[in-house]
Amino acid sequence: MTQRNSKIKKGLLAVVVIGALLGLFSVFSWMGTDYALHATSDQTFCGGCHSMKPMQASFLNDKHGGASTKGVQALCSDCHLPQDNYVSYLYVKAKSGAWDVWKEFVLGADDVDWYAKRERANEFVYDSGCLKCHNNLRTGSERSNKQFVAHKPYFMGTTEKTCIDCHSVGHKDLEQELKRHFGPVTTTSVSSVK
């Protein structure tokens, strides 16, 4: 019986040790993933690419970025990735991140028409990000007649407009930064905007 008890104790010890190691692995994997997601979500990381310098500069001049008087600063991912669920967030982050790296370092980003892309800003900004921070907008709008009238079609779903269609936020004076970095708008840019 002692041999059998010894085997049972060794088996239990092995299960506990394996469980503890798996638990530690899970915790450290989660911490590493969380660190990597945050490290690749701010203006320092995103602005590291040459083509993103004007966006970084205009973001730092905006109240949602470096010019915040409230001490709150949005991350690039807060606006440019969906915030409605974690799976969607991770999928879009991986997909757009892979494309951005490929475009910047393999294909080259010199041919990107940033002026034309501004006209389609609602394709690159997610309302779920706006509503994550402005989470009391619906109830606040109901208390303020001016806000209520302005946002009623949005919350009732009777408009296709997105937040960025009405609110120019996130990148103060972006056009001036684009001109400073890439030069003035060309006729190609103007014709591709229309």
pTM for this one? 0.78
Low-confidence ranges of the chain (pLDDT < 50): 189-194
- CA separation for the pair 59, 53 (Å, rounded): 10
User: Is there a contact between 78 and 132 (Cβ–Cβ < 8 Å)?
Assistant: yes
- CA separation for the pair 194, 188 (Å, rounded): 10
pLDDT at 193: 40
Chain segment 109-129, per-residue pLDDT in tens: 888 898 889 889 889 999 999
pLDDT at 1: 57
- CA separation for the pair 139, 131 (Å, rounded): 12
CB-count burial class (<10 Å; 0-12, 13-18, 19+) for 56: buried
pLDDT at 106: 93
